[in-house]
Structure 1
Amino acid sequence: MADAESPAKRVKLDFSEHLRILVGPSKQEFMVHKDVITRRSSFFQAAASQRWSGSGSGKVIELSDDDPAVFSAYLECLYTGVVHVDDQLCSDGFLALKLYMLADKLGDLKSMNCIIDSIIKWSDRHRELPDTPSATYVVANTMEISPLRRLMVDFHVQESAKDALDDVIAKSPLLCGAILKEFGRLKAGNLDLKVRKVFNQACNKRPKCYYHQHDEQCPPCASDSA
């Protein structure tokens, strides 16, 4: 009965209007269906409203501080609902992390949830974690409540081998501090539990919505909303 659970899928989209989006210092151009992107992104919904200068199809919006490659990957997620977290996407400082942060900036919760699920699946499939510079970049550029930040810290607290933690200690005081803070929180809140019940909790075994964000437009996943 999937149709009854997802009425948003039956909403009729208008493909007649476009937004012209210029990304990066080079102002690489992307033409995007206005109705598609404004239904998902609170940023573009505001940018396309009457409060901003200009109106109509072909309206120009600039994202001068963003990477065209990351924005292109975002559009693929927007239109297909799929994130290809492959070797190419994981190169250049783990591009998938930057993709999540862009979706966060644009206020697209559905894409954020899709991206973070793909990062977890990629890590589980390859038995690999984001490296120290990549995780440090996330911690340095997100708030403590960010699900992506929590995931980076949980990866290191729950799944990192000793050599990976040694690398963090040697290279990143910022990430090391976040990890130690989480160790302290878990220890203080679980004094009556054995260590194995507190630690070694793989991120891919968490409840489906554990690293998600939801609102009225992006309700909790069906398996967690019963």
Structure 2
Amino acid sequence: AVQVGALAKHYDVYIPDLLYFGGSTSPSTDRSPGFQAECLAAALGKLGVDECTVVGFSYGGMVAFKMAESRPDLVRSLVVSGSVVAMTDSISDATLERIGVRSSAELLLPESVKGLKALLSIAAHRRLWFPERLHRDFLEVMFTNRKERAELLEGLVVSNKDATVPVLPQKILLLWGHNDNIFNIELAKTMKEQLGEKTMLQSIDKAGHLVHLERPCVYNQHLMEFLAYATAEASKESAN
């Protein structure tokens, strides 16, 4: 909500619920980020959106990378936080071992208030306190479609031998919590080098995986600066 208020003053903002994260479902059995990206691009097309900047966090960042790869005509620039281009075997195994859980579902699909608190303690740099009632409400509202979401997590992981870093033409900002315990800053630095010279990395101190919630004002400042820069560069390119 903090990002929406800041952005809507200057931009047309579209906030999609990805499949199985809201009321949207599909008869398809495809649970890949690529399919999510395909559906999102189709929805934007129906709304008459010809070009856009995609901002993605965590799972949404993986979908954003897929959108940028498959639809460079639609995605003008890209902002990603706490995510990876592809969740390889090695990244998945190393992340789970570092956090100390057996599977992504165990961490990301909590079934109890205790599990939710454990997720928040890992995802945030500083302790986030909520009344017990809010924890229960959050569980009820945010963790629906458990079977399908577990399948989405399974559909994320690709083998190291099949993983490639795409050549993306877009200007990209990796906007990171410096203390991200899930996808750490070293992973972001490696990804920046792999993605090339059009990619910038900006880290935010005293913030973890939930950087946009922990340091919203700083996050918004960097986001707005990048959007202004990307818009100005696009105007220059179209003029030439």
| TM-score computed with the length of structure 1 as normaliser | 0.32
When normalised by structure 2's length, the TM-score is 0.31
Flag the structure with larger Rg.
Answer: 1
Structure with the bigger RCO (C-alpha within 8 Å, sep 6+) is 2
